[in-house]
Structure 1
Amino acid sequence: MHDTYRPNAGSDRRGTRAALRFALTLGLAAACATAGSQAWAAAACDAPWMHQGGGFTATLAPGQRTVTYTVTQFSKRDGNNCNGQIHAAMKMSMGGQPMQSESDVHFTIVDGKAAAQPEQTSNGSMHGSSGAASLNGMMSAQTSGILSYVGEITSEGQRIAGTRTQGSMSGTAANMGQSVGTMNVPKFVTTTSDKAVGKQEQLQTGAGTFACWPVTYDRSMQADNAQLMGHTANLAMKSHVVDHFCPATGLVMRQDTVTNGHAVTLTVSALH
């Protein structure tokens, strides 16, 4: 993470690629909030955490990463119609340094479905900091229905069509309050294969035990011409994913991901 923010980081390309990956992590955290807003669509307005000041906490293991989602704005007409804003605050450790980032995403649910269409975008701000260094910018992400499991899953063996989302990011890196460079990812694209629904099972989480559907698929992310501190790189990541969707909460309560042989698990550890 030293290479991300510090002006004396040098021209090490591996450090630059790591920095770009972190920048994408910030954007994907915001995009995750966007995607989640659609995953909750069918019953989201009545979900126990969906209210002003409500939300949930997700933890990643291994990785020392925690993301707290908070509903900062909320207006509800009935169980199927509401809108508001979700604030995602991520804390993690990278390179031995504590990091934190923040993003905000607006959502709208109409007649039990997310109002966003494939060509619409959701804009949000992002902020990352470590000590006296910081990264500020804007991101946009398509809201095309990724992980929209509410109302979709009816039985084991069901197939759900894959998805494609895209977004962009731009920002400024600073150290001790002074600008030291810019970050620009003109487009990152995330695609998934068709998704296979497995047998419903009981899932134990820090927030309780729920009946959940495992949903298995492959996911890829591509970012071409990503630029940071004068360096340009094309980044690509491929992962095998299992989402454990729990209808009682309207959330994917656990996501198991294997990327390049490295396994991580993201779990909803608390509902607020």
Structure 2
Amino acid sequence: MKNLQRLALMLMMALTTGVAHAEVCNARFFHDGGEIEIGGSGILSLNARLAFSQVKKNTPEVCQAHVRGFAKYAYMGLLNGSNNLDHLMKVNAGKSSFTKPGSGKQGEAGQLDLRLFSLFGYGAPIQSAGQRLPAQSFKLVLGDPGQPTTPLTVRMSEKTVGAQQSIQTALGQQTCWPVRYSRNTDATMANVRGLMVAVPAIQSKVVDWFCPQVRLVMKQEIDQGGQKAVIEVKSVK
């Protein structure tokens, strides 16, 4: 059951990619004792909290921290569960990597990949309406540790920045850039506890609301074939 829950959480987080920060080393939450909470409603119910410790900043673009947290989720009333998070995060020039603390090894199959939260970077600053940000993709590993695994690629199209608008957020009224793009994965199968589990394709249209005053994407709107979800930053410490 735990392995099925981890697989489900990976799929849930693939839906939320984009609640993002463009300059993570200078993020409001990126300090010893810092915290950020994210909530979701609609087809995706989500409550995730991350806490930061052992923060080191070498330059504005090179930093690291120990990240611990918890995520509880439900998707379309079908998949639900919870997961504890514990990673060492390193950031270098807009790129983030995550390892198990003390091991130096990338996360194993069946573990949550924190890149799915996309708290950790567009990789470029947002400057004006009409700006385009490059397409991105990364791979997850589905399955059980020590068993045959299945790669799952999360693809995000080129992003287009729209005109600034004023929106209400957990940090008050903010003037924010809407950043629009599509996000998808292919259908595949994953071996979990000796059973082949069908992993459905995900095709979504996404709008990130990046708020420069607080340097955060405070809200993300997702449309998956007419079924919608809203993911928001609920609190920042």
TM-score with structure 1 setting the length: 0.68
Residues of 2 paired with 1:204 and 1:122: CA distance? Answer: 40
Among residues 152, 162, 165, which one is paired with 2:135 in the alignment?
Answer: 162
Structure 2 residue aligned with 1:46: 26
Q: Which amino acid aligns with 2:128?
A: S
Among residues 57, 66, 86, which one is paired with 2:47 in the alignment?
Answer: 66
Structure 1 residue aligned with 2:35: 55
- Higher RCO structure, 1 or 2 (CA under 8 Å, sep 6+): 2
Unaligned runs of 5+ in 2: 98-103
Residues of 2 paired with 1:93 and 1:30: CA distance? Answer: 11
Residues of 1 paired with 2:105 and 2:213: CA distance? Answer: 27
Structure 2 residue aligned with 1:212: 176
Residues of 2 paired with 1:41 and 1:217: CA distance? Answer: 16
Q: Which amino acid aligns with 1:124?
A: G
Tell me if structure 2 keeps the 8 A contact 1:203–1:211: yes
Per the alignment, in what secondary structure is the counterpart of residue 106 of structure 2?
Answer: strand
Give the share of equivalent positions with the same residue, in percent. Answer: 26
* CA RMSD, 1 decimal: 3.7
Structure 2 residue aligned with 1:87: 68
Residues of 1 paired with 2:204 and 2:16: CA distance? Answer: 19
Among residues 29, 46, 56, which one is paired with 1:75 in the alignment?
Answer: 56
Tell me if structure 2 keeps the 8 A contact 1:139–1:170: no
Residues of 1 paired with 2:163 and 2:187: CA distance? Answer: 35
Q: How does 1:140-155 map to 2 (within 5 A)?
A: 148-149=121-122, 151-155=124-128
Give a deviation string over 1:45-98, Cα, whole Å, max 9, x none: 333211112121111013442111111331123544321132231123575997
Greater Cα radius of gyration, structure 1 or 2: 1
Per the alignment, in what secondary structure is the counterpart of residue 123 of structure 1?
Answer: coil
Q: How does 1:218-257 map to 2 (within 5 A)?
A: 218-222=182-186, 224-229=188-193, 230-257=195-222
Unaligned runs of 5+ in 1: 6-18, 127-136, 173-181
Tell me if structure 2 keeps the 8 A contact 1:30–1:103: no
Compared CA separation, residues 141 and 150, structure 1 to 2 (3 A): closer
Tell me if structure 1 keeps the 8 A contact 2:63–2:90: yes
Count of matched residue positions in the alignment of Structure 1 and Structure 2 = 227
Residues of 1 paired with 2:119 and 2:28: CA distance? Answer: 22
Return the offset for 1:122.
Answer: 7.9
Residues of 2 paired with 1:252 and 1:268: CA distance? Answer: 8
Return the offset for 1:260.
Answer: 2.5
Per the alignment, in what secondary structure is the counterpart of residue 48 of structure 1?
Answer: coil
Structure 2 residue aligned with 1:179: none
TM-score with structure 2 setting the length: 0.77
